[in-house]
Chains A and B, each alone.
Chain A
């Protein structure tokens, strides 16, 4: 490993690095988020920073952008020491940041967003026309096309991200930090983003890419630094490493990247959906006639860019369709029709039908963040007879049950009394997964099971899902991670704009084909090739 540390080989060159960090440490209370970090990012390169959730990547970048003050250490920008006290200092030093959650004013135009905070004077007009000129030039140089007069909320997610990049470039950023930039993009949009980044690199810009996706690191970066538990454990040239090695560095042990599973042995149909339609409160049709079947002992994966009706589908099956919406069609579970509206359509009733649900957003839906772990283990099942007598809850019984689940699912720290908020993302998810899977549901609805979950926990959660399938249960898996869909599913259905675009078998399709379906193009039924680059 010593050979891979940054001082080995050609990593150190004579020219001053774009950014150099020396001995950066930062603690929050008793948590050491960054410990003695050294990092050297060469000018004109794409440098990946990879690490599990909570490894300290975001803290480090926040220090670089002036959001946090480091407890110790030095930052050099272009070879000169710099004390970054706030984001204004960082911007003046040529550092630009594209956040995971965009910081755009939704009802402003692109142009207004770009000059926001960088106006030249009290009057807006001169700034706006100057920005228009700069924008035109940037669009030409880097394929960064956005309509400057469009209101941001009308833009697709990929275009909103471009506005964020343009904002940074408009402020003359030389060093661009992107925090998990592809989380919200389709594969095609992600490809386009990478082309933009390559263009920026060709112009001599330096790019720091924070991600947890190994594939992206391998695809686009020149060098990669790995963080684990607040420390920088390695900096290597991408060409000289492999995904397996990076995964091992991140987790600190060997990780199986691919799910090991036997072929499915599907039995009787468990879930039957016929012509399911949903019109939301504003009159928009979100589901436009869904037909799906899932058999016992089968995982059906639903691929798609988020926002194409997957959330609505999960909510309806979970018993809580959006307020004010109208749902029609037929859904049967084990032959029994599920109520789709009215007071009988609620999540408690669904649980009584033995339908489990791991929701898309554990922090907003799946857990009460201020509740202790043991209370969260009972959450949703708090009416269960084994959890109490009559109106009162039996705390001891729930705690015993919770302790068992926490132990079997290796939740860390193994503490019943810790509030859900104080667990890492992966361990929070394990609490939800333990709660739902150990009830042994006939049908398990799963939304984004591993979003924001570290690699070690992903492996564990995938294994448990496959075990449930092997126990003869039906599983509906919704995920925006194509890799996850490909490796877990026995069948894949692609959702686009409230419809099922098509069904494929994971062995007989490619991410390319699924990507097209996710963008609404059925290559099998439309022989003429479509110009996708115009789409995205």
Chain B
């Protein structure tokens, strides 16, 4: 059957979903007696109205790019990696161990080494579910979600009992050495002679995330491995016929996925907190699922969707700060966006497709 044009599929559908989610959010805000227009302007002002707002929006977006790419790569192998949360948490542990144990003289050296630590720990955390799926057929959705809990508990133990500095009351690691401090975008702007995003956490990791988008695109659509991953994701019997080893592809795709999720730690752990704290991931692993879904499992889409969710995160924070709309409602709004762009995608897509077909018929 004929399909609708690509731009409608990629841009129009998520846009309409977004508008629907906003409309229902507006109704909910109305229902608790607040003004939706005030809420919207507060969010936009707070997240995009100043370089300060942008600084936070981009910081959150960086997290979501990494976790979104993680979900996306696994998705192309037809694996639903729900474990980004745990893998990113383990990535944080990897970063902390590397930075606290190796004497790294400069951030330019510390960053690649920390990236290796983050990716290795994230990948290792994805390896066990991948292996269980490939060899034993244990469903990856179940195992990865369980591994999130294991990661949280394990990190709790490690922070409280092993990494907490002597005498500290805080369940967190020691601060990382000053030499490993990553340049913030505000520092870089200052070096270039203008002021931008003062006191915001967005740092050089943002550029790493953008490069990761390009590399993932190359991997999936330009490399032989990506060809195998996509072929396996579309049809396992066909992959077998073509000599693609299902065990190998399952494991490799999950290692890359887990590695990408783990890489998030260079942003939140190394770039922002500069020490490992409890619950550092703050749900970014789960947001990554929505980001990948909304981004239609393409790096460009993931990038744009990550920006949107960065905006919702930052704008939502502002909303709680400046209005009497309770914080919980922001979660409701985010959930509505996820619901409409992810789960209810077909609700918008189907009528739209029919509309385009009808238009084409009239034109023909």
Mark A residues whose CB is within 8 Å of B. Answer: 27-31, 318-320, 346-351, 357, 359, 361, 364-371, 375, 378-380, 382-383, 388, 391-393, 395
Contacts and interface: CB of A to CB of B under 8 A. Distances in A.
Category for how many chain B residues contact A: 20 to 34
Contact of A391 (B223, B238, B243): B223
Contact of B234 (A318, A369, A382): A369
Interface string B251-267: 00000000000000000
A319 B360 CA distance: 46
B2 A347 contact: no
Contact of A351 (B218, B231, B234, B243): B243
B360 A382 contact: no
Most buried by A among B225, B244, B357: B244
Given A369-B234, A371-B234, A382 B227 contact: yes
A368 B239 CA distance: 9
A347 B242 contact: yes
Contacts of A348: 242-244
Contact of A29 (B222, B244, B360): B360
A72 to B, nearest CB: 14
Given A319-B243, A350-B243, A391-B223, A368 B357 contact: no
A29 B1 contact: yes
Q: Which residue, of A357, A369, A391, has the highest number of chain B Cβ atoms within 10 A? A: A391
A259 B71 CA distance: 52
Q: Is the interface of B mostly helix, strand, loop or mixed?
A: helix
A393 B241 contact: no
Contact of B224 (A29, A349, A392): A392
B235 A364 contact: yes
A370 B234 contact: yes
B6 interface: no
A346 B243 contact: yes
A463 to B, nearest CB: 25
A380 B224 contact: no
A30 B360 contact: yes
A313 to B, nearest CB: 15
Contacts of B231: 368, 371, 379
Nearest to A321: B240
Nearest to A381: B242
Given A30-B2, A30-B364, A364-B235, A347 B241 contact: yes
B245 interface: yes
B243 A367 contact: no
Contacts of A347: 240-243
Contacts of B357: 29
Nearest to B364: A30
A382 B224 CA distance: 7
B136 interface: no
Given A28-B1, A29-B357, A392-B218, A378 B227 contact: yes
B237 A364 contact: yes
Interface in B1-26: 1-2
A148 B231 CA distance: 44
A377 to B, nearest CB: 12
Q: When A and B form their complex, which 7 residue pairs have the shortest distance between CB atoms, in order from nearest?
A: A348-B243, A347-B243, A29-B2, A380-B242, A365-B241, A320-B240, A368-B234
Contact of A366 (B2, B241, B360, B361): B241
Nearest to A28: B1
Nearest to B241: A365
Interface in B190-249: 218, 222-225, 227-228, 230-231, 234-235, 237-238, 240-245
Given A29-B1, A320-B240, A393-B223, A382 B228 contact: yes
Contacts of B2: 29-31
Contacts of B224: 382-383, 388, 391-393
Given A28-B1, A29-B2, A346-B245, A366 B238 contact: yes
A30 B242 contact: no
A378 B2 CA distance: 25
7 contacts: A27-B361, A320-B241, A350-B243, A357-B241, A359-B241, A368-B235, A371-B234
Contacts of A367: 238
A341 to B, nearest CB: 14
Contact of B222 (A346, A350, A392): A392
B218 to A, nearest CB: 7
A366 B1 CA distance: 21
Contacts of B228: 382
Contact of A365 (B1, B218, B222, B237): B237
A281 B361 CA distance: 52
Contacts of A370: 234
A365 B238 contact: yes
Contacts of A30: 2, 360-361, 364
Contacts of B223: 391-393
B243 A380 contact: yes
Nearest to A375: B227
Nearest to A349: B243
A393 B243 contact: no
A364 B235 CA distance: 7
A350 B243 CA distance: 8
A384 to B, nearest CB: 10
Interface string B72-105: 0000000000000000000000000000000000
A128 B116 CA distance: 68
A7 B244 CA distance: 58
A368 B242 CA distance: 10
Given A30-B360, A365-B237, A391-B223, 10 more contacts: A30-B361, A31-B2, A347-B242, A357-B241, A365-B235, A368-B235, A368-B238, A369-B235, A379-B238, A392-B218
Contacts of B244: 348
Contacts of A361: 237
Contacts of B235: 364-365, 368-369
Contacts of A349: 243
Contact of A393 (B1, B222, B245, B364): B222
Contacts of A380: 241-243
Nearest to B225: A391
Contacts of A395: 222
B240 A364 contact: no
A393 to B, nearest CB: 6
A391 B226 CA distance: 9
Contacts of A393: 222-224, 227
Contacts of A346: 243, 245
A375 B227 CA distance: 9
Residue of B2, B224, B234 most packed against chain A (CB within 10 A): B224
Contacts of A365: 235, 237-238, 240-241
A318 B357 CA distance: 42
A393 B224 CA distance: 6
B232 to A, nearest CB: 9
Contact of B238 (A27, A31, A364): A364
A318 B1 contact: no
